[in-house]
Amino acid sequence: MKRRNLLAAGVAVAAASVGVGWGLRRQSERSPDAADDLDKAGPVDVWRLRFEKPGGGELALATLRGRPLVLNFWATWCPPCVEEMPLLERFQQEHRAAGWQVLGLAVDTAPPVREFLARHPVSFAIGLAGMPGVALSRSLGNSGGALPFSVIFDSQGGAIERKLGALKWDELSAWSSRIK
């Protein structure tokens, strides 16, 4: 009898997990433009995408084109992502005058991102990609969809470097010295 109860409990937990995951995916915030592009087969034109900002309003990636960009996919529930935020902030502060920009795309929902940013404010742009952010990161070379993941774009808008895992200061410095 105990074995049957444990099996039933295990099935219930599995079903609940699937339901929660499905619900989070349905609740993930994305703009219609981002959803349309991410649902298409083939490469995504990142410069056409738009994302909601945690504090309201919209972030159009087209406004970031023309200058080098560090695009970082992160989440509040990802420890290495949270650990690299101060490094990204430092990079933004030290390289802004040279034209560099940093954009964090949160693979998360708005409430935890707002709470995180209230405790750890950053000066760079943050967009809410939700679960579609995983598909976007995959289209940019992150085959496993893991976090953190960063893509470095040159001023012409081409993706020229990719990094799965937490960034290191030496990597960012080397890229910034050779990318204009």
Measure the CA–CA gap between 72 and 149, rounded to whole angstroms. 6
For 95-117, write each residue's pLDDT tens digit. Answer: 999 999 999 999 999 999 999 99
Question: Which residues pair with residue 52 across a beta bridge?
Answer: 58, 128
Measure the CA–CA gap between 142 and 162, rounded to whole angstroms. 8
For 33-50, write each residue's pLDDT tens digit. Answer: 444 444 443 457 899 999
Q: What's the pLDDT at 4? A: 57
The yes-or-no verdict on residue 55 having pLDDT over 90 is yes
Single out the residue of 16, 24, 20 nearest to residue 110, CA to CA. 24
Strands (E), the chain: 50-52, 58-60, 69-74, 101-106, 125-128, 149-153, 159-164
Domains assigned to the chain:
30-178 (3.40.30.10)
Q: In what order do the strands lie in the sheet with 101-106?
A: 58-60, 50-52, 125-128, 101-106, 69-74, 149-153, 159-164
